[in-house]
Structure 1
Amino acid sequence: MDGQKRQTLNHLLTALPPGLLVDSAWLQAQGVARTSVHDYVRRGWLERVAPRVYRRTTTQGTAALLRWDMAVMSAQRAALGDLYVGGMTALELHGLGHFARLGGGRTIHLYDPDHIAPSWLATLSTDAQLAMHRRGLFEASGLGIDWHRFDLGTARLGDIATSPQASEAWDHFLRVANAERAAIELMDDVPASLSFDHADKIFENLTTLRPRLLTKLLKGCTRIRAKRLFLFFADRHAHGWAKRIDRDVIDLGRGKRQLVPGGRLDARYQITVPEAFGPKTESENQ
Protein backbone atom coordinates (compact mmCIF):
# COMPACT_ATOMS: atom_id res chain seq x y z
CA MET A 1 0.00 0.00 0.00
CA ASP A 2 1.47 3.35 -0.99
CA GLY A 3 1.74 6.31 1.37
CA GLN A 4 -1.28 8.16 0.00
CA LYS A 5 -3.60 5.17 0.42
CA ARG A 6 -2.28 4.49 3.91
CA GLN A 7 -2.92 8.11 4.88
CA THR A 8 -6.46 7.88 3.50
CA LEU A 9 -7.05 4.64 5.41
CA ASN A 10 -5.77 6.14 8.68
CA HIS A 11 -8.06 9.14 8.20
CA LEU A 12 -10.99 6.81 7.48
CA LEU A 13 -10.46 4.70 10.61
CA THR A 14 -10.23 7.87 12.69
CA ALA A 15 -13.38 9.40 11.20
CA LEU A 16 -15.46 6.20 11.42
CA PRO A 17 -16.26 5.15 15.01
CA PRO A 18 -16.60 1.39 15.61
CA GLY A 19 -20.09 0.10 14.82
CA LEU A 20 -21.40 3.07 12.88
CA LEU A 21 -22.46 2.48 9.30
CA VAL A 22 -21.56 4.52 6.25
CA ASP A 23 -22.45 4.27 2.59
CA SER A 24 -20.41 4.48 -0.58
CA ALA A 25 -21.13 8.19 -0.97
CA TRP A 26 -19.69 8.96 2.48
CA LEU A 27 -16.59 6.89 1.76
CA GLN A 28 -16.01 8.69 -1.52
CA ALA A 29 -16.43 12.03 0.26
CA GLN A 30 -13.60 10.92 2.56
CA GLY A 31 -11.36 10.38 -0.45
CA VAL A 32 -11.80 6.60 -0.68
CA ALA A 33 -12.10 5.47 -4.29
CA ARG A 34 -14.54 2.72 -5.20
CA THR A 35 -11.70 0.33 -6.01
CA SER A 36 -10.13 1.08 -2.62
CA VAL A 37 -13.40 0.22 -0.86
CA HIS A 38 -13.32 -3.26 -2.37
CA ASP A 39 -9.68 -3.57 -1.41
CA TYR A 40 -10.38 -2.55 2.20
CA VAL A 41 -13.15 -5.15 2.40
CA ARG A 42 -10.86 -7.83 0.95
CA ARG A 43 -8.13 -6.97 3.46
CA GLY A 44 -10.60 -7.06 6.36
CA TRP A 45 -10.49 -3.37 7.31
CA LEU A 46 -14.12 -2.77 6.31
CA GLU A 47 -17.21 -4.99 6.42
CA ARG A 48 -19.98 -4.86 3.86
CA VAL A 49 -23.24 -5.14 5.83
CA ALA A 50 -25.67 -4.34 2.99
CA PRO A 51 -25.44 -3.14 -0.61
CA ARG A 52 -23.31 0.04 -0.55
CA VAL A 53 -23.23 0.07 3.28
CA TYR A 54 -20.10 -0.58 5.33
CA ARG A 55 -18.62 -0.41 8.81
CA ARG A 56 -15.28 -1.00 10.45
CA THR A 57 -14.63 -4.70 10.83
CA THR A 58 -15.93 -6.15 14.10
CA THR A 59 -15.28 -9.40 15.89
CA GLN A 60 -18.98 -10.31 15.70
CA GLY A 61 -19.03 -10.75 11.94
CA THR A 62 -21.88 -9.81 9.63
CA ALA A 63 -24.01 -12.84 10.51
CA ALA A 64 -25.28 -11.20 13.68
CA LEU A 65 -28.24 -8.84 13.38
CA LEU A 66 -27.34 -5.19 13.54
CA ARG A 67 -28.41 -3.24 16.61
CA TRP A 68 -31.29 -0.96 15.75
CA ASP A 69 -29.74 1.94 17.66
CA MET A 70 -26.48 1.74 15.71
CA ALA A 71 -28.43 1.64 12.44
CA VAL A 72 -30.54 4.66 13.40
CA MET A 73 -27.61 6.69 14.72
CA SER A 74 -25.77 5.98 11.47
CA ALA A 75 -28.77 7.07 9.41
CA GLN A 76 -29.18 10.24 11.50
CA ARG A 77 -25.57 11.07 10.85
CA ALA A 78 -26.10 10.61 7.12
CA ALA A 79 -29.39 12.58 7.18
CA LEU A 80 -27.85 15.52 9.05
CA GLY A 81 -30.22 15.13 12.00
CA ASP A 82 -33.65 15.43 10.35
CA LEU A 83 -34.55 11.83 11.14
CA TYR A 84 -35.62 11.16 14.74
CA VAL A 85 -37.02 8.53 17.10
CA GLY A 86 -40.54 9.38 18.21
CA GLY A 87 -43.92 8.09 19.30
CA MET A 88 -44.01 5.02 21.47
CA THR A 89 -40.28 4.34 21.14
CA ALA A 90 -39.40 7.82 22.38
CA LEU A 91 -41.68 7.32 25.39
CA GLU A 92 -39.93 4.04 26.14
CA LEU A 93 -36.52 5.70 25.96
CA HIS A 94 -37.73 8.39 28.37
CA GLY A 95 -38.85 5.70 30.80
CA LEU A 96 -42.56 6.29 30.21
CA GLY A 97 -43.42 3.21 28.17
CA HIS A 98 -43.95 0.68 30.94
CA PHE A 99 -46.83 -0.84 29.02
CA ALA A 100 -45.41 -0.22 25.56
CA ARG A 101 -44.32 -3.76 24.76
CA LEU A 102 -47.08 -6.27 25.24
CA GLY A 103 -45.49 -9.31 23.64
CA GLY A 104 -43.97 -9.89 20.22
CA GLY A 105 -40.86 -8.34 18.76
CA ARG A 106 -39.87 -4.76 19.33
CA THR A 107 -40.87 -2.05 16.87
CA ILE A 108 -38.85 1.16 16.62
CA HIS A 109 -40.87 4.18 15.50
CA LEU A 110 -38.90 6.58 13.31
CA TYR A 111 -40.17 9.89 11.96
CA ASP A 112 -38.99 11.30 8.64
CA PRO A 113 -41.44 14.05 7.60
CA ASP A 114 -38.94 15.53 5.13
CA HIS A 115 -38.30 12.15 3.46
CA ILE A 116 -34.53 12.46 3.73
CA ALA A 117 -33.64 9.21 5.51
CA PRO A 118 -31.02 7.25 3.54
CA SER A 119 -32.64 4.57 1.41
CA TRP A 120 -30.31 1.89 2.75
CA LEU A 121 -31.84 2.11 6.23
CA ALA A 122 -34.87 0.09 5.10
CA THR A 123 -32.63 -2.65 3.66
CA LEU A 124 -30.86 -3.47 6.92
CA SER A 125 -31.57 -6.53 9.04
CA THR A 126 -31.69 -5.23 12.60
CA ASP A 127 -32.68 -6.68 15.96
CA ALA A 128 -35.98 -4.74 15.84
CA GLN A 129 -38.53 -3.82 13.22
CA LEU A 130 -38.12 -0.26 11.97
CA ALA A 131 -41.45 1.51 11.36
CA MET A 132 -41.07 4.71 9.33
CA HIS A 133 -43.62 7.52 9.75
CA ARG A 134 -43.44 10.07 6.94
CA ARG A 135 -46.52 12.17 7.64
CA GLY A 136 -45.67 15.62 8.99
CA LEU A 137 -47.73 16.26 12.12
CA PHE A 138 -46.36 19.63 13.21
CA GLU A 139 -45.78 22.99 11.56
CA ALA A 140 -42.54 23.48 13.54
CA SER A 141 -40.56 20.45 12.46
CA GLY A 142 -37.91 20.72 15.17
CA LEU A 143 -40.07 21.67 18.14
CA GLY A 144 -39.80 19.13 20.95
CA ILE A 145 -36.88 17.17 19.48
CA ASP A 146 -33.42 16.97 21.06
CA TRP A 147 -30.10 15.27 20.63
CA HIS A 148 -29.26 13.04 23.59
CA ARG A 149 -26.13 11.24 24.55
CA PHE A 150 -26.83 7.53 24.25
CA ASP A 151 -25.22 4.77 26.32
CA LEU A 152 -24.75 1.70 24.14
CA GLY A 153 -24.12 -0.50 27.16
CA THR A 154 -27.42 0.24 28.89
CA ALA A 155 -29.36 1.46 25.81
CA ARG A 156 -30.45 4.49 27.83
CA LEU A 157 -30.67 8.15 26.99
CA GLY A 158 -28.27 10.53 28.66
CA ASP A 159 -28.23 14.29 28.94
CA ILE A 160 -29.41 16.58 26.15
CA ALA A 161 -26.53 17.54 23.88
CA THR A 162 -26.24 20.86 22.07
CA SER A 163 -24.81 19.08 19.02
CA PRO A 164 -23.92 15.50 18.11
CA GLN A 165 -20.18 16.11 18.02
CA ALA A 166 -18.24 13.19 19.48
CA SER A 167 -15.10 13.98 21.43
CA GLU A 168 -14.29 10.33 22.05
CA ALA A 169 -14.87 7.12 20.07
CA TRP A 170 -17.45 5.96 22.61
CA ASP A 171 -19.53 9.14 22.37
CA HIS A 172 -22.86 8.36 20.72
CA PHE A 173 -25.86 10.58 20.10
CA LEU A 174 -29.48 9.85 19.27
CA ARG A 175 -32.07 12.40 18.10
CA VAL A 176 -35.30 11.75 20.00
CA ALA A 177 -38.67 13.46 20.45
CA ASN A 178 -39.37 14.58 23.98
CA ALA A 179 -42.26 13.06 25.89
CA GLU A 180 -44.71 15.82 24.98
CA ARG A 181 -44.23 15.51 21.22
CA ALA A 182 -44.08 11.71 21.39
CA ALA A 183 -47.38 11.52 23.26
CA ILE A 184 -49.15 13.53 20.57
CA GLU A 185 -47.53 11.41 17.85
CA LEU A 186 -48.81 8.33 19.66
CA MET A 187 -52.37 9.55 19.27
CA ASP A 188 -52.04 9.50 15.49
CA ASP A 189 -51.66 5.71 15.66
CA VAL A 190 -54.92 5.14 17.56
CA PRO A 191 -56.77 2.98 16.75
CA ALA A 192 -55.13 1.89 13.47
CA SER A 193 -52.02 0.31 15.00
CA LEU A 194 -52.49 1.02 18.70
CA SER A 195 -55.61 0.12 20.64
CA PHE A 196 -57.47 2.52 22.91
CA ASP A 197 -56.73 0.26 25.89
CA HIS A 198 -53.01 0.25 25.13
CA ALA A 199 -52.87 4.00 24.68
CA ASP A 200 -54.85 4.46 27.89
CA LYS A 201 -52.30 2.45 29.91
CA ILE A 202 -49.41 4.46 28.47
CA PHE A 203 -51.19 7.77 29.07
CA GLU A 204 -51.70 6.87 32.71
CA ASN A 205 -47.93 7.24 33.25
CA LEU A 206 -47.65 10.67 31.63
CA THR A 207 -47.83 12.63 34.88
CA THR A 208 -44.97 15.08 34.32
CA LEU A 209 -45.60 16.60 30.88
CA ARG A 210 -44.97 20.32 30.46
CA PRO A 211 -48.16 22.28 29.68
CA ARG A 212 -46.44 25.26 28.05
CA LEU A 213 -44.64 23.04 25.54
CA LEU A 214 -47.79 20.97 25.02
CA THR A 215 -49.68 24.15 24.17
CA LYS A 216 -47.11 25.07 21.50
CA LEU A 217 -47.12 21.56 20.05
CA LEU A 218 -50.90 21.25 19.99
CA LYS A 219 -51.26 24.72 18.48
CA GLY A 220 -48.90 23.72 15.65
CA CYS A 221 -50.22 20.18 15.19
CA THR A 222 -51.83 19.66 11.79
CA ARG A 223 -53.83 16.53 12.70
CA ILE A 224 -57.22 17.42 14.16
CA ARG A 225 -57.99 13.88 15.29
CA ALA A 226 -54.66 13.54 17.11
CA LYS A 227 -55.25 16.79 18.99
CA ARG A 228 -58.78 15.87 19.97
CA LEU A 229 -57.77 12.41 21.13
CA PHE A 230 -54.82 13.75 23.12
CA LEU A 231 -57.06 16.16 24.99
CA PHE A 232 -59.64 13.42 25.48
CA PHE A 233 -57.06 11.26 27.27
CA ALA A 234 -55.75 14.30 29.16
CA ASP A 235 -59.23 14.93 30.55
CA ARG A 236 -59.78 11.24 31.23
CA HIS A 237 -56.69 10.92 33.44
CA ALA A 238 -56.92 14.41 34.95
CA HIS A 239 -53.16 14.87 35.24
CA GLY A 240 -52.19 18.16 36.86
CA TRP A 241 -50.70 19.59 33.67
CA ALA A 242 -53.94 19.08 31.71
CA LYS A 243 -55.64 22.07 33.35
CA ARG A 244 -52.75 24.36 32.44
CA ILE A 245 -52.87 23.83 28.66
CA ASP A 246 -54.09 26.97 26.89
CA ARG A 247 -56.90 25.45 24.87
CA ASP A 248 -58.03 28.79 23.44
CA VAL A 249 -55.14 28.80 20.94
CA ILE A 250 -55.67 25.20 19.78
CA ASP A 251 -57.75 24.69 16.63
CA LEU A 252 -59.80 21.52 17.02
CA GLY A 253 -61.62 21.91 13.71
CA ARG A 254 -65.29 21.29 13.13
CA GLY A 255 -67.49 18.27 12.67
CA LYS A 256 -67.40 14.78 14.06
CA ARG A 257 -64.52 12.30 13.67
CA GLN A 258 -65.35 8.61 13.68
CA LEU A 259 -62.43 6.77 15.27
CA VAL A 260 -64.35 3.64 16.23
CA PRO A 261 -67.30 2.41 14.15
CA GLY A 262 -70.35 2.07 16.36
CA GLY A 263 -68.54 3.64 19.30
CA ARG A 264 -69.75 6.22 21.81
CA LEU A 265 -69.64 9.85 20.71
CA ASP A 266 -67.68 12.01 23.12
CA ALA A 267 -69.69 15.22 23.20
CA ARG A 268 -66.84 17.56 24.07
CA TYR A 269 -64.36 16.48 21.39
CA GLN A 270 -66.83 15.09 18.84
CA ILE A 271 -64.96 11.80 18.40
CA THR A 272 -66.28 8.26 18.64
CA VAL A 273 -64.52 6.17 21.29
CA PRO A 274 -65.15 2.63 22.59
CA GLU A 275 -68.18 2.27 24.85
CA ALA A 276 -65.89 1.31 27.73
CA PHE A 277 -64.28 4.75 27.57
CA GLY A 278 -67.10 6.61 29.20
CA PRO A 279 -66.40 9.39 31.71
CA LYS A 280 -64.24 8.22 34.60
CA THR A 281 -65.87 8.06 37.98
CA GLU A 282 -64.51 10.09 40.89
CA SER A 283 -63.09 6.94 42.50
CA GLU A 284 -61.21 6.03 39.30
CA ASN A 285 -59.51 9.44 39.20
CA GLN A 286 -58.24 9.11 42.77
Structure 2
Amino acid sequence: MSTNKPSKINKLLGLQPPGVVLTSNWLSEQGYSPELLRKYRNSQWLFSIGTGAMIRANDQIDYLGAIYSLQQQLNLSIHPGAKTALSIQGRIHFLDFSEKEIYLFGNAKESLPVWFVNYDWGVKINYYTSSFLPADVGMILTEKKENFDLKISSPARAIIECLFLAPQSQDLMECFQIMQGLNNLHPQKTQQLLELCTSVKVKRLFLYLAEKSGHAWFKYLNVENIDLGKGNRSLVKNGIYIKKYKLTVPREMEKNEYPDL
Protein backbone atom coordinates (compact mmCIF):
# COMPACT_ATOMS: atom_id res chain seq x y z
CA MET A 1 0.00 0.00 0.00
CA SER A 2 2.83 2.38 0.85
CA THR A 3 4.36 1.70 -2.57
CA ASN A 4 1.20 2.61 -4.47
CA LYS A 5 0.61 5.92 -2.71
CA PRO A 6 3.75 7.65 -3.98
CA SER A 7 3.09 6.26 -7.43
CA LYS A 8 -0.41 7.70 -7.50
CA ILE A 9 0.67 11.05 -6.11
CA ASN A 10 3.51 11.22 -8.64
CA LYS A 11 0.99 10.59 -11.40
CA LEU A 12 -1.18 13.36 -10.00
CA LEU A 13 1.71 15.81 -9.85
CA GLY A 14 2.45 15.15 -13.51
CA LEU A 15 -1.09 15.63 -14.78
CA GLN A 16 -0.89 19.43 -14.78
CA PRO A 17 1.99 21.86 -15.39
CA PRO A 18 3.73 23.56 -12.44
CA GLY A 19 2.28 26.83 -11.21
CA VAL A 20 -1.43 26.01 -11.56
CA VAL A 21 -4.25 25.34 -9.12
CA LEU A 22 -5.68 21.82 -8.80
CA THR A 23 -9.47 21.98 -8.46
CA SER A 24 -11.41 19.35 -6.53
CA ASN A 25 -13.92 18.84 -9.34
CA TRP A 26 -11.15 18.10 -11.83
CA LEU A 27 -9.30 15.84 -9.37
CA SER A 28 -12.50 13.89 -8.79
CA GLU A 29 -12.87 13.36 -12.54
CA GLN A 30 -9.32 11.98 -12.59
CA GLY A 31 -10.27 9.36 -9.98
CA TYR A 32 -8.94 11.00 -6.83
CA SER A 33 -11.41 10.58 -3.95
CA PRO A 34 -11.88 13.18 -1.19
CA GLU A 35 -10.39 10.68 1.28
CA LEU A 36 -7.24 10.22 -0.80
CA LEU A 37 -6.84 13.95 -1.28
CA ARG A 38 -7.20 14.43 2.48
CA LYS A 39 -4.31 11.99 2.97
CA TYR A 40 -2.23 13.94 0.47
CA ARG A 41 -2.90 17.15 2.39
CA ASN A 42 -2.06 15.49 5.70
CA SER A 43 1.20 14.26 4.14
CA GLN A 44 1.81 17.84 2.88
CA TRP A 45 2.00 16.81 -0.76
CA LEU A 46 -0.95 19.13 -1.41
CA PHE A 47 -2.07 22.31 0.33
CA SER A 48 -5.57 23.76 0.34
CA ILE A 49 -5.99 27.39 -0.73
CA GLY A 50 -9.75 27.33 -0.19
CA THR A 51 -12.70 25.01 -0.54
CA GLY A 52 -12.35 23.13 -3.81
CA ALA A 53 -8.79 24.17 -4.67
CA MET A 54 -5.31 22.92 -3.85
CA ILE A 55 -1.72 23.54 -4.87
CA ARG A 56 1.30 21.27 -4.86
CA ALA A 57 4.00 21.48 -2.20
CA ASN A 58 6.62 24.15 -2.94
CA ASP A 59 4.67 25.35 -6.00
CA GLN A 60 4.65 29.05 -6.79
CA ILE A 61 1.31 30.24 -8.16
CA ASP A 62 -0.21 33.54 -9.19
CA TYR A 63 -3.56 34.60 -10.59
CA LEU A 64 -2.60 33.42 -14.08
CA GLY A 65 -2.06 29.88 -12.81
CA ALA A 66 -5.50 30.05 -11.24
CA ILE A 67 -7.08 31.29 -14.48
CA TYR A 68 -5.42 28.40 -16.34
CA SER A 69 -7.28 26.05 -14.01
CA LEU A 70 -10.58 27.87 -14.58
CA GLN A 71 -10.09 27.46 -18.32
CA GLN A 72 -8.60 23.98 -18.59
CA GLN A 73 -10.10 22.19 -15.59
CA LEU A 74 -13.48 23.90 -15.13
CA ASN A 75 -14.05 24.79 -18.82
CA LEU A 76 -14.87 28.42 -18.09
CA SER A 77 -14.33 31.24 -20.59
CA ILE A 78 -12.93 33.56 -17.91
CA HIS A 79 -9.82 35.26 -19.27
CA PRO A 80 -7.52 38.27 -18.89
CA GLY A 81 -8.90 41.04 -21.08
CA ALA A 82 -8.81 44.78 -21.75
CA LYS A 83 -5.60 46.44 -20.47
CA THR A 84 -4.43 43.27 -18.71
CA ALA A 85 -4.37 41.27 -21.95
CA LEU A 86 -2.59 44.13 -23.71
CA SER A 87 -0.05 44.36 -20.89
CA ILE A 88 0.70 40.62 -21.05
CA GLN A 89 1.45 41.09 -24.76
CA GLY A 90 3.66 44.12 -24.14
CA ARG A 91 1.25 46.43 -25.96
CA ILE A 92 0.80 49.23 -23.42
CA HIS A 93 4.28 49.81 -22.05
CA PHE A 94 3.73 53.50 -22.76
CA LEU A 95 0.87 53.73 -20.26
CA ASP A 96 1.13 54.20 -16.53
CA PHE A 97 -0.60 50.86 -16.04
CA SER A 98 -0.29 49.06 -12.73
CA GLU A 99 -0.20 45.28 -12.97
CA LYS A 100 -1.55 45.28 -9.41
CA GLU A 101 -5.00 45.83 -10.93
CA ILE A 102 -6.26 43.02 -13.15
CA TYR A 103 -9.17 42.97 -15.62
CA LEU A 104 -10.91 39.65 -16.18
CA PHE A 105 -13.90 38.87 -18.40
CA GLY A 106 -16.34 35.98 -18.51
CA ASN A 107 -19.73 35.33 -20.03
CA ALA A 108 -22.90 36.44 -18.33
CA LYS A 109 -23.52 33.11 -16.58
CA GLU A 110 -20.02 32.53 -15.21
CA SER A 111 -18.96 33.36 -11.66
CA LEU A 112 -15.52 33.27 -10.12
CA PRO A 113 -15.23 30.35 -7.65
CA VAL A 114 -15.24 31.34 -3.99
CA TRP A 115 -11.69 30.05 -3.54
CA PHE A 116 -10.51 32.37 -6.33
CA VAL A 117 -12.31 35.38 -4.86
CA ASN A 118 -11.10 34.80 -1.30
CA TYR A 119 -7.46 33.99 -2.03
CA ASP A 120 -4.94 36.82 -1.87
CA TRP A 121 -3.31 36.93 -5.30
CA GLY A 122 -1.46 40.13 -4.52
CA VAL A 123 -3.50 42.03 -7.11
CA LYS A 124 -6.89 43.71 -7.27
CA ILE A 125 -9.25 41.62 -9.39
CA ASN A 126 -11.83 43.42 -11.53
CA TYR A 127 -14.18 40.82 -12.98
CA TYR A 128 -16.81 41.67 -15.60
CA THR A 129 -19.46 39.39 -17.01
CA SER A 130 -21.20 40.15 -20.28
CA SER A 131 -22.38 38.67 -23.54
CA PHE A 132 -21.52 41.55 -25.88
CA LEU A 133 -18.95 39.29 -27.60
CA PRO A 134 -18.99 35.51 -28.16
CA ALA A 135 -16.72 33.74 -25.69
CA ASP A 136 -14.61 31.94 -28.29
CA VAL A 137 -13.92 34.75 -30.79
CA GLY A 138 -10.83 36.94 -30.77
CA MET A 139 -8.87 34.85 -28.28
CA ILE A 140 -5.19 33.93 -28.50
CA LEU A 141 -2.86 31.64 -26.58
CA THR A 142 0.06 33.15 -24.76
CA GLU A 143 2.86 31.26 -23.07
CA LYS A 144 3.67 32.12 -19.49
CA LYS A 145 6.94 31.06 -17.83
CA GLU A 146 7.21 28.15 -20.28
CA ASN A 147 4.85 26.16 -18.06
CA PHE A 148 1.46 26.61 -19.65
CA ASP A 149 -0.51 28.40 -22.35
CA LEU A 150 -3.28 30.74 -21.33
CA LYS A 151 -6.23 32.04 -23.32
CA ILE A 152 -6.30 35.84 -23.33
CA SER A 153 -7.91 38.51 -25.48
CA SER A 154 -6.20 39.37 -28.75
CA PRO A 155 -5.30 43.06 -29.19
CA ALA A 156 -8.48 43.71 -31.20
CA ARG A 157 -10.72 42.05 -28.63
CA ALA A 158 -8.84 43.73 -25.77
CA ILE A 159 -9.41 47.26 -27.09
CA ILE A 160 -13.07 46.39 -27.68
CA GLU A 161 -13.25 45.29 -24.02
CA CYS A 162 -11.64 48.58 -22.99
CA LEU A 163 -14.30 50.46 -24.93
CA PHE A 164 -17.01 48.34 -23.32
CA LEU A 165 -15.80 49.55 -19.90
CA ALA A 166 -15.60 53.20 -20.98
CA PRO A 167 -16.34 55.73 -19.69
CA GLN A 168 -17.42 54.40 -16.26
CA SER A 169 -14.54 51.97 -15.60
CA GLN A 170 -12.04 52.96 -18.27
CA ASP A 171 -10.78 56.41 -19.23
CA LEU A 172 -11.83 57.41 -22.75
CA MET A 173 -8.68 59.33 -23.51
CA GLU A 174 -6.61 56.34 -22.47
CA CYS A 175 -8.65 54.25 -24.91
CA PHE A 176 -7.69 56.74 -27.63
CA GLN A 177 -4.02 56.39 -26.71
CA ILE A 178 -4.27 52.59 -26.75
CA MET A 179 -6.00 52.65 -30.14
CA GLN A 180 -3.26 54.88 -31.56
CA GLY A 181 -0.74 52.18 -30.72
CA LEU A 182 -2.64 49.34 -32.43
CA ASN A 183 -1.25 49.89 -35.93
CA ASN A 184 -1.14 46.25 -37.01
CA LEU A 185 -4.56 44.77 -36.28
CA HIS A 186 -5.74 42.08 -38.69
CA PRO A 187 -8.62 43.62 -40.71
CA GLN A 188 -10.58 40.38 -41.25
CA LYS A 189 -10.38 39.32 -37.61
CA THR A 190 -11.27 42.83 -36.48
CA GLN A 191 -14.20 42.87 -38.91
CA GLN A 192 -15.48 39.60 -37.45
CA LEU A 193 -15.34 40.95 -33.91
CA LEU A 194 -17.17 44.14 -34.85
CA GLU A 195 -19.89 42.26 -36.71
CA LEU A 196 -20.45 39.95 -33.74
CA CYS A 197 -20.29 42.67 -31.10
CA THR A 198 -23.76 43.57 -29.78
CA SER A 199 -22.83 46.94 -28.23
CA VAL A 200 -23.65 49.83 -30.54
CA LYS A 201 -21.67 52.23 -28.35
CA VAL A 202 -18.56 50.07 -28.56
CA LYS A 203 -18.73 49.66 -32.34
CA ARG A 204 -19.25 53.35 -33.04
CA LEU A 205 -16.46 54.35 -30.66
CA PHE A 206 -14.09 51.75 -32.09
CA LEU A 207 -14.61 52.95 -35.67
CA TYR A 208 -14.34 56.60 -34.67
CA LEU A 209 -11.05 56.08 -32.79
CA ALA A 210 -9.59 53.79 -35.46
CA GLU A 211 -10.34 56.26 -38.23
CA LYS A 212 -9.09 59.19 -36.17
CA SER A 213 -5.85 57.29 -35.46
CA GLY A 214 -5.24 56.99 -39.21
CA HIS A 215 -4.51 53.26 -39.19
CA ALA A 216 -3.89 51.67 -42.59
CA TRP A 217 -6.00 48.62 -41.65
CA PHE A 218 -9.09 50.79 -41.12
CA LYS A 219 -9.69 51.22 -44.86
CA TYR A 220 -10.05 47.44 -45.22
CA LEU A 221 -13.00 47.29 -42.84
CA ASN A 222 -16.43 46.95 -44.41
CA VAL A 223 -18.37 49.37 -42.23
CA GLU A 224 -21.61 48.69 -44.12
CA ASN A 225 -21.64 45.15 -42.71
CA ILE A 226 -21.37 46.42 -39.13
CA ASP A 227 -24.69 47.18 -37.45
CA LEU A 228 -24.29 50.61 -35.87
CA GLY A 229 -27.89 50.87 -34.70
CA LYS A 230 -30.03 53.99 -34.71
CA GLY A 231 -30.24 57.13 -32.63
CA ASN A 232 -27.53 59.11 -30.88
CA ARG A 233 -25.08 57.94 -28.23
CA SER A 234 -23.49 60.30 -25.70
CA LEU A 235 -20.37 59.31 -23.80
CA VAL A 236 -19.85 62.57 -21.91
CA LYS A 237 -21.69 65.75 -21.04
CA ASN A 238 -20.81 68.93 -22.90
CA GLY A 239 -18.78 67.01 -25.45
CA ILE A 240 -18.57 67.33 -29.22
CA TYR A 241 -21.10 65.57 -31.44
CA ILE A 242 -19.62 63.45 -34.24
CA LYS A 243 -22.30 63.37 -36.93
CA LYS A 244 -20.76 60.49 -38.90
CA TYR A 245 -21.01 58.13 -35.93
CA LYS A 246 -23.87 59.86 -34.07
CA LEU A 247 -21.62 59.96 -31.04
CA THR A 248 -20.81 62.63 -28.47
CA VAL A 249 -17.17 62.41 -27.36
CA PRO A 250 -14.86 64.44 -25.09
CA ARG A 251 -13.79 67.77 -26.62
CA GLU A 252 -10.10 67.04 -26.14
CA MET A 253 -10.49 63.80 -28.08
CA GLU A 254 -12.04 65.44 -31.12
CA LYS A 255 -9.60 68.33 -31.03
CA ASN A 256 -6.80 65.75 -30.98
CA GLU A 257 -5.09 67.50 -28.10
CA TYR A 258 -3.75 64.18 -26.87
CA PRO A 259 -0.08 63.50 -27.77
CA ASP A 260 0.61 61.04 -30.56
CA LEU A 261 2.61 57.92 -29.73
Structure 1 residues 118-177: Cα deviation after superposition (integer angstroms, max 9, x where no partner)? 513222211222222211122x432211223x132xxxxxxxxxxxxxxxxx53110012
Equivalent residue, structure 2, for 1:142: 136
Deviation for aligned residue 1:78: 2.0
2:87 is equivalent to residue 92 of structure 1 = yes
Identical-pair percentage: 27
- Mapping for residues 234-253 of structure 1, pairs under 5 Å: 234-253=210-229
Give the Cα–Cα distance (whole angstroms) in 1 for the partners of residues 19 and 139 of structure 2: 24
Structure 1 residues 32-67: Cα deviation after superposition (integer angstroms, max 9, x where no partner)? 22222222112111111222210110176xxxxx51
Instruction: Extract unaligned runs of 5+ from structure 1.
Output: 61-65, 153-169
Deviation for aligned residue 1:280: 4.2
Give the alignment partner of residue 104 of structure 2, picking from 110, 123, 135: 110
Equivalent residue, structure 1, for 2:155: 179
- Paired amino acid for 2:41: V
Equivalent residue, structure 1, for 2:70: 75
Q: Matched residue pairs, number?
A: 259
Give the Cα–Cα distance (whole angstroms) in 2 for the partners of residues 219 and 96 of structure 1: 24
Give the Cα–Cα distance (whole angstroms) in 2 for the partners of residues 254 and 113 of structure 1: 26
Native 8 Å contact 1:146 1:177 kept in 2: yes
TM (norm. structure 1) is 0.81
Equivalent residue, structure 1, for 2:202: 226
Native 8 Å contact 2:21 2:55 kept in 1: yes
Sort the Cα spacing of 1:258 and 1:59 in 2 relative to 1 into closer, same or farther, 3 A.
closer
2:254 is equivalent to residue 254 of structure 1 = no
- Paired amino acid for 2:151: R
Q: Report the more deviating stretch, 34-43 or 180-189.
A: 34-43
Give the Cα–Cα distance (whole angstroms) in 2 for the partners of residues 241 and 16 of structure 1: 40
TM (norm. structure 2) is 0.89
2:144 is equivalent to residue 151 of structure 1 = yes
- Taking only aligned residues, the RMSD between alpha carbons, in angstroms, comes to 2.4
Structure 1 residues 221-246: Cα deviation after superposition (integer angstroms, max 9, x where no partner)? 10000001111111221111112211
Native 8 Å contact 1:258 1:271 kept in 2: yes
Q: Report the more deviating stretch, 93-102 or 187-196.
A: 93-102
Give the Cα–Cα distance (whole angstroms) in 1 for the partners of residues 22 and 216 of structure 2: 45
Instruction: Extract unaligned runs of 5+ from structure 2.
Output: none
SS in 1 for 2:72: helix
SS in 2 for 1:207: coil
Give the Cα–Cα distance (whole angstroms) in 1 for the partners of residues 249 and 9 of structure 2: 60
